[in-house]
Chain A
């Protein structure tokens, strides 16, 4: 079946602009995660959605970052007033409910964000 898809694959934006990154999880997966992969920081957890529960936002680096998940499926990560340090690859992953013993996360190909 189809895997996790992300769009766009590449995004170049000017400093100060807002950007939206999209993630389509695997059908039936109730859990969705965003991670950021950058040269200096490695792979960092950003935010986690599980069903209708309040999201775990503990990894968001600043209030310029926000995310939503509509209808329990597609998610959008928004970065406002982008800064050069936001340049990174943003990875989305999905899984069945981790509370029910599902441990494997399936990753999308990522969105490479470059802030000039």
Chain B
């Protein structure tokens, strides 16, 4: 069965510092990978996605992620965070290219940006 592991439940970081949120997945077939952000009391918003092609994917709000097939990882990075980046971040995988589009999510990482 496919699974997604987010290695850190909480990541505290100071404003303007770089941050990396780690995500590993398990699947023996092709996958499509996503990072979503959830601000307090809101739904999920797509940050970025990897479908194919370049392994470095750029998203909104200055975030980027790198797909590493050999390590089955899709870590999210930002070179300089802002207070407004404080939120919960979810890594998700969609398996295969069939008609079902359901996503399997990791447990989430809470990013706490401190002034």
Interfacial residues, chain A to chain B (CB-CB below 8 A) = 4, 31, 33, 35, 42-45, 48, 50, 53, 56, 59, 91, 93, 95, 97-99, 102-110
The contact of B104 among A45, A104, A105, A110, by CB within 8 Å, is: A45
Contact B43 A109 (CB under 8 A): yes
Of B51, B100, B108, which is within 8 A of A103 by CB?
B51
Q: In the complex, which of the residues B36, B103, B106 contacts A45, with contact meaning CB atoms closer than 8 Å? A: B103
Q: How many whole Å from B115's CB to the nearest CB in chain A? A: 28
Q: B108 contacts A108, CB within 8 Å?
A: no
Q: Are A42 and B99 in contact (CB under 8 A)?
A: no
CB-CB under 8 A from A93, the residues of chain B are 44
Interface residues of B (CB under 8 A from A): 32, 34, 36, 41-46, 49, 51, 90, 92, 94, 98-108
| Whole-angstrom CA separation of A50 from B101 in the bound complex | 9
A37 CB to closest chain B CB, in angstroms?
A: 9
Determine if A91 and B100 form an interchain contact, defined as CB atoms under 8 angstroms apart.
no
A105 to B43, Cβ gap below 8 A? Answer: no
Which A residues lie within 8 Å of B46 (CB)? 104-106
Residues of B within 8 A of A31 (CB): 101
Docked complex Cα distance between A33 and B94 (Å): 13
Closest chain A residue to B49, Cβ basis: A103
CB-CB nearest in chain B for A50: B99
